[in-house]
Structure 1
Amino acid sequence: MPRPPRSDRPNHARRGGRPARRPNAAEQAGAPAPKGSARGRAPAPIRTDGPVLELEVERIAHGGIAVAHHEGRVVFVADAIPGERVRARVSDTAHERFWRADTVEVLEASADRREHVWAEASVDRAPERRAGGAEFGHIADERQRALKAEVLRDALSRFGGVERDVVVQAVDPALAPGARADGTGWRTRVRLHVAADGAVGPYAARSHTVVPVASVPLAVDELAALAPLSERFPGAVSIDLVAPSGADPQLVVSDGERMPRGERPVTSEVVGDRRFTVDRDGFWQVHRGAAATLTKAVQAAVDADRFDPRAANLDLYGGVGLLAAAIGDRFGDTVRITSVESDERATGHAGANLADWVGARALTARVDRFLAELEADASAGERARLREATVVLDPPRSGAGRDVVDRLAALRPAQLVYVACDPVALARDVGLLRRQGYELEHLEAFDLFPNTHHVEAVARLAAIV
């Protein structure tokens, strides 16, 4: 296919079409951002001469890294499974309380260890040359989901004060045609990076080093076929591969220059019988079956006995209207719902995407400011309709946070349906809401990012009368 101009670039970096955090550039290639690194700052180079330790791997931690101890010090170990004994090279000693290390040899393997689904990410490669973005690819699928459930369960206990069993569900294969049973073939958006010599590849794990690869197995087949892995792009910064469900796959070359907002191309995504317009550089769930999975999960999470279609229902961090549409499709065309999103272009698309419902509207506003204005200016009648409301919120990875939680609690909606991509952020907000008189009633978790540590959850919290 002809290459587009280099300025014609997507930036799949924010939820719901707003341009900046989830996932970041490294995460689009699948590589999680180094924890604690400043935004836009390259992480410290990985040490290749650190000491090699023999470690007993104890458990998994938030972020997908395993935990071990050496002479009383915590060691976070990549590419290991709890219960294994490994040799690991220390890669980072900058922190007094812990070190980081990478597995270089498995001495006693878990029964759940398998050949890595991405050869270029295997422990057979030197740590600094391992492709990032498939950090659980060496673990059997069921164990991956069990580890994610363990992290979510532990976070809810520690930060939310909730003891709750958790099961992480695989995506229904009927919702993700082409995705394979080993957790490959699901990514509809992939970002590859370009090295100084023009070579193309993902970043190595926890670094900004471009790693040449011969395959991108997590990508859907049409993107795997399109990926220019053997070509060179001198002067480019990144290559974006996009496979919308309602349009042809595309390859976009970026030289790092931002496209003027008015010139951003749009595309379409299809969920069931509904079509959504979204900026090509806006956020859309990357798993082929994710949007349909979350639509069904949000519909199931709403307690119908508490739902009032005439109440002042809200869809916060609403993006292009996916979850507001899920509410409308479940409860009919009499539903009143306001979708609130900070990005003006996403809000414009949401208005068009929600045009089926006379009572639906899309507002451009920061969620915290929108809630503050509601709290300050709502009439007695509006407050009554807010107390009967259902609020859906799908915040960025950092969560809603104390300010938004406090303002929501002050408005006292009947129920909250919270979509979360980070276990600790969800658990923290659950804890804040519990202190404000809400209780966790319903929780489902989904493996929308197979072969990575990421997990998505949908929770319902209800006001205690």
Structure 2
Amino acid sequence: MSEPTSTTRLTVTVGPVAHGGHCVARHEGRVIFVRHAIPGETVEIALTENDDDAKFWRADVTRVVEASPERVEHFWPEADALRAAARHGSPIGGAEFGHISRKGQLELKSAVVREQLERLGGLSADSVDALFSAGVEDVDAKGNADQQAGLGWRTRVGFAVTPSGKLGMHAHRSHTILPIQEMPLAIPAVDELRLWDLDFTGIDRVEVAAPANGSGVLVLLAPVHGLSDKAAGSAVKRIARSLAALPTPPSVARWNPENSAIEVVSGRGWVKETTDDHEFRVTGDGFWQIHRMAPKVLTDAALGYLLQGGYLNDGADVADLYAGAGLFTAPLADAVGSDGSVLSVEGSPGTSRDARKNLHASEQVEILQGRVEKILGTQSRASHTEAGQRRHFDAVVLDPPRAGAGKAVVRALVATAPKAIAYVSCDPAAFARDVKYFANSGWKIEKLRAFDLYPHTHHVETVALLVPVTAKASTTD
């Protein structure tokens, strides 16, 4: 990523927002994806990627000529493009909407969801109007002042380490690591560690899991690749000793990001997450929703759709796909009772083991580890009844990773002929593509909500109820 220079600066009028955290501008016919802008503004930009043969260029705002009414002072100096330009540097990534009012952020995210559903999902503007009139919802509208401002929500944070051993974060699309002195998006327990005061020499990555319930923080330390085992161990233990001096010391573990293996140095290698009705063990870097309110918001929305539609009841046969540690599986098991059945499928071996521990008392739950499309397509209890007939689900919760479910999973899932699917997505483009795959198989969106579970970033979470519209689904294109 090139640093802003006088030879790469242009003045442009900013066009509409696009998926990915930028807006679209044009210069002499060339499309430029501009970060840290707001539609309608006139800004000076520094080109960061501008090869002559590229289909489009990328740029950061360096000065605002005519500001949008929604522009506010960025809350985080290290992430502020304008202050970075003044010091002839680049901002860190991770808060690319921090210069926009909370109202403006919701409006832009709503526009992105709409555009993706129309362009990639194939829905008409009228259909999107009917489904999505509420737009993206602010989950912190009744929180305290910081939460209403979109701060203090992250319970999971990943950090890099500068060459000099200081805690840092990457600049956008760059290998450059910039030091930081705070993490205002994280819940207070993360800042209270004061990791930026420590020497992380010998460490490549730092992951922090800080449950919102206050049950204890876990710090994972990944040593620099190629470092001797002795040197790596010494670096991890040195940092663990520093953290042990805190009034409330966290657990610390050495971590291998390639296989998720952890070696506990102090405390325990897992954190305890809780919802209103359940407790979950999440090991190491295992997946859990990042926003402190996300577990409740998403389970209420997804299971609410299925319950209101009459798809969940005693004795129902349901599935939780990409199930993680069991966030949706546990309430699904409650809903179907001991006479029902829940299939939990998770690809990560470690997270699947967590699910087994979390749900060991729920005899109606079957937990399988592996790829969703393979498990649904195999000759196993998961995909067939005892009589050998293909298993049909009454309801499914589908919560794929950011890349989406994809054509193969949609094809395998449609073959099980569920009555309804609650689809939870953290990427509107991937969601819209999957909506198109489902539409090609005779399915439609019946209900849709979206939540701002990533304030000050471009990310948005959607929850949709999908139902079949044909008696017999066709083959996915």
Pairwise TM-score range, normalised by the shorter structure: 0.7 to 0.9
Q: Is the 8 A contact 1:60 1:67 kept in 2?
A: yes
* Aligned residue number for residue 152 of structure 1: 113
Q: Is the 8 A contact 1:312 1:385 kept in 2?
A: no
* Aligned residue number for residue 283 of structure 1: 287
Structure 1 pair 383–46 and aligned structure 2 pair: CA distance change class (3 A)? farther
Of 155, 166, 182, the match for 2:149: 182
Inter-partner Cα distance in structure 2 for 1:251 and 1:411? 41
Residue 439 of structure 1 and its aligned partner are, at CA, apart by: 1.0
Structure 1 pair 330–312 and aligned structure 2 pair: CA distance change class (3 A)? closer
- Residue correspondence of structure 1 range 312-327 to structure 2 within 5 A: 312-327=317-332
Amino acid at match of 1:125: A
Residue 284 of structure 1 and its aligned partner are, at CA, apart by: 1.1
The worse-fitting range, judged by mean Cα deviation, of 407-416 and 74-83 is 407-416
* Aligned residue number for residue 31 of structure 1: none
Amino acid at match of 2:290: V
Q: Is the 8 A contact 1:335 1:357 kept in 2?
A: no
Inter-partner Cα distance in structure 2 for 1:446 and 1:420? 10
Residues 1:411 and 2:409 aligned together: no
* Aligned residue number for residue 135 of structure 1: 96
Amino acid at match of 2:67: A
Structure 1 pair 53–344 and aligned structure 2 pair: CA distance change class (3 A)? same
- Greater Rg, structure 1 or structure 2? 2
The structure whose RCO (Cα within 8 Å, separation 6+) is larger is 1
Amino acid at match of 2:112: V
TM-score by length of 2: 0.82
* Aligned residue number for residue 447 of structure 1: 452
* Aligned residue number for residue 170 of structure 1: 138
Query: Any idea what SS the aligned residue of 1:277 has?
Result: strand
Query: Any idea what SS the aligned residue of 2:158 has?
Result: strand
Structure 1 pair 331–256 and aligned structure 2 pair: CA distance change class (3 A)? farther
Amino acid at match of 1:197: S
Residues 1:343 and 2:344 aligned together: no
What are the Cα deviations for residues 247-295 of structure 1, in whole angstroms up to 9, with x where unaligned?
2124443314654747572221011131101113211111111111111
What are the Cα deviations for residues 327-382 of structure 1, in whole angstroms up to 9, with x where unaligned?
23445454311101122222222123224533112111211110111599725967
Residues 1:378 and 2:384 aligned together: yes
Amino acid at match of 1:124: R
Unaligned runs of 5+ in 2: 226-254, 472-477
Residue 309 of structure 1 and its aligned partner are, at CA, apart by: 4.2
Inter-partner Cα distance in structure 2 for 1:442 and 1:401? 21
Residues 1:102 and 2:63 aligned together: no
- Residue correspondence of structure 1 range 43-82 to structure 2 within 5 A: 45=2, 48=5, 50-82=7-39
Inter-partner Cα distance in structure 2 for 1:210 and 1:155? 32
* Aligned residue number for residue 120 of structure 1: 78
Query: Any idea what SS the aligned residue of 1:58 has?
Result: strand
Amino acid at match of 2:37: A
Aligned residues with identical type, % of pairs:
39
Structure 1 pair 237–278 and aligned structure 2 pair: CA distance change class (3 A)? same
Query: Any idea what SS the aligned residue of 1:321 has?
Result: coil
Q: Is the 8 A contact 2:34 2:59 kept in 1?
A: yes
Structure 1 pair 313–46 and aligned structure 2 pair: CA distance change class (3 A)? farther
More strand by share: 2
Inter-partner Cα distance in structure 2 for 1:429 and 1:374? 25
CA RMSD of aligned residues (A): 2.4
Unaligned runs of 5+ in 1: 1-43
How many positions carry a matched residue from both structures? 420
Inter-partner Cα distance in structure 1 for 2:388 and 2:68? 57
The worse-fitting range, judged by mean Cα deviation, of 224-233 and 72-81 is 224-233
Structure 1 pair 84–329 and aligned structure 2 pair: CA distance change class (3 A)? farther
Of 158, 164, 174, the match for 1:191: 158
Residue 450 of structure 1 and its aligned partner are, at CA, apart by: 0.2
TM-score by length of 1: 0.84
Structure 1 pair 410–239 and aligned structure 2 pair: CA distance change class (3 A)? closer
